[in-house]
Structure 1
């Protein structure tokens, strides 16, 4: 993995490269960023750059012996630790290393659900167990084999329970030229004893333009589809990749039709529309609802006079400007709340017909009867 293969994150890439060039490499670093932001591929690209035999000013060379091994995740001085779904108490990350390599090489932006899909997880809970902690200590007690550094990339340290305290000594006093690169999404869920021993590298979600360009160049998506997915994914590359593999439905047309049926209170047509939504499939339903939440957010920005922050294509922007004439901020927020609740329930396999009919009736209450939620009751606005 090279830096040039990672979407956006130009400032972070430069910071990492500069730390190596100026010999300011901290032995324990925490790459903290939201899901799909690129924290994991950044850590791998950084490790490859550190081990590269012919470092370039802005990236690893990609062709030396070390880089070729990194590209297959098979370098003897590169180690991974990650949550897994143990079948036996002595299972460690090594038990699942082939699946891990396959999953990462297929999608460096993978999330825990993607990882679960590569394993026979059944209903087991993911964690990093005490056997894995002991294995980490054992591996990192040895000197580097080929490169200057021996590097451990620990993905999702949030899944280290109190067993993680067994790693404190080796994190604080590692062998010479041993690096810990922790890759996390939620700082609050990491053991404070580990957190206090790391240098924080904060990573933000890539911007709309970066995601769109990535979809155009790397996934060959048409301009309109790339723009819609970049908008829907909200900087989550993992979600964006998943959307490219799903049906390319026109969520905008569907969503505006739904709102118009709510404004006019055409209940019979709404029932027929609910039938259509219920047949879309769970992932498309989630994407449709996510699009609705994002569209309502953009409407709120327009109503608040922050049009310069809106990122809608021209045709959708025109529709949004028409829609805000029949609603106010309270109505838009109320609809957005209903959509977010519906997304939550779709993820948990709620009956789609019942769910979308309920949301449709709530939209009618808001847009036709001009009411907004007040606790469990709807009061006139």
Structure 2
């Protein structure tokens, strides 16, 4: 993975390059950015840039032995840590899951947590990073590097560490010489504060519209006009933009209309059947539906001020226009978005989708009742 393969994030890339150029590479860094912003690919590109013996000012060479091993995720001095289900056969540490990890990265380096669980055929199970894996990190970093003078530990989604993550505090503070810790997350509130305080924060913004649009055209063969619209709607989330671009009319639209009808007419009896039907999409499907709803509501909030040109088109634009005739106002829409964000949080924490959707239905009703 090279910097040129990472979508956007030019300012962050420049800061990382400068740090390497002047010899200031913090031994523990936390790359923090919203989902779909490219934290994992940026971390992988940074590792390759740091370790490449033939790097230029801008990027790794991509051709040397080190780059080839890093590109295939087989370099012996790079240890990958990530969440996986507790009961996944006889697998106890991340290295037991490396074959699936490599396959998943080769297929889509911008994968989400839900994509990773699907790769493991464990979508309805809760992943975590177990204590045995943390002790394995300490063991691996205590060994001498096989090649070169650096060992790297990449921890993807430290939100899944739990309290056992405190096992790493000492090695984060006093790592062996030539050690680089990279943690890649999206929600600092879900990461142990004791770990955050021992790392240098590298903040990532959502991907810029121009860069996201170009990536959709080049990588996903989406028409330029559609790519520009999707980039604005997805608000810097490449993963969401791709999902929304898979079909001309988004498959979530009908379900979203049904939900809003139930909520605004307060037909909570119908909400039970609706929640049951939608929960059949699985956790990742429900999460994408909620992301879709959040983007629709945010669009409804900004349209009165900036218009709908370049955003939703066709049936979805009609929905946005009709929704705004209710004149709910920015504050009420903000409360509705918060309800959906809380529901997403519950889904990500392995909550029961049907129960969460029902709770969200009541939450949405409560959000709009005060207006009426």
TM-score for both structures, normalised by structure 2: 0.77
Q: Are the structure 2 counterparts of residues 162 and 373 from structure 1 closer, same or farther at C-alpha, using a change threshold of 3 Å?
A: closer
Q: Are the structure 2 counterparts of residues 50 and 102 from structure 1 closer, same or farther at C-alpha, using a change threshold of 3 Å?
A: same
Q: Does 1:75 align with 2:70?
A: no
1:374 aligns with 369
2:8 aligns with 8
1:32 aligns with 32
Q: Are the structure 2 counterparts of residues 325 and 129 from structure 1 closer, same or farther at C-alpha, using a change threshold of 3 Å?
A: closer
Q: Are the structure 2 counterparts of residues 140 and 225 from structure 1 closer, same or farther at C-alpha, using a change threshold of 3 Å?
A: same
Secondary structure class of the residue paired with 1:373? helix
User: Deviation string for 1:105-161 (max 9, x for gaps)?
Assistant: 211111211111111437543111111111111100012221232111011112112
Aligned-pair distance for 1:325? 8.0
User: Deviation string for 1:321-364 (max 9, x for gaps)?
Assistant: 9658844243994599399659959x76559xx99xx99xx8xx
2:241 aligns with 240
Inter-partner Cα distance in structure 2 for 1:342 and 1:20: 37
What are the residue-to-residue correspondences of 1:117-156 with 2, within 5 Å?
A: 117-121=118-122, 123-156=124-157
Inter-partner Cα distance in structure 1 for 2:242 and 2:201: 27
Secondary structure class of the residue paired with 1:80? strand
TM-score for both structures, normalised by structure 1: 0.75
1:220 aligns with 221
Aligned-pair distance for 1:181? 0.5
Q: How many residues align?
A: 350
2:209 aligns with 208
- For structure 1, list consecutive stretches of 5 or more residues without a partner in the other structure: 266-270, 363-371
RMSD of Structure 2 on Structure 1 (CA): 4.3
Secondary structure class of the residue paired with 1:79? strand
Inter-partner Cα distance in structure 2 for 1:185 and 1:36: 9
Structure 1 ranges of 4+ moved more than 6 A: 251-258, 283-289, 313-322
- For structure 2, list consecutive stretches of 5 or more residues without a partner in the other structure: none
2:56 aligns with 56
Q: Are the structure 2 counterparts of residues 109 and 5 from structure 1 closer, same or farther at C-alpha, using a change threshold of 3 Å?
A: same
1:365 aligns with none
Secondary structure class of the residue paired with 1:201? strand
Q: Are the structure 2 counterparts of residues 296 and 123 from structure 1 closer, same or farther at C-alpha, using a change threshold of 3 Å?
A: closer
Inter-partner Cα distance in structure 1 for 2:239 and 2:5: 15
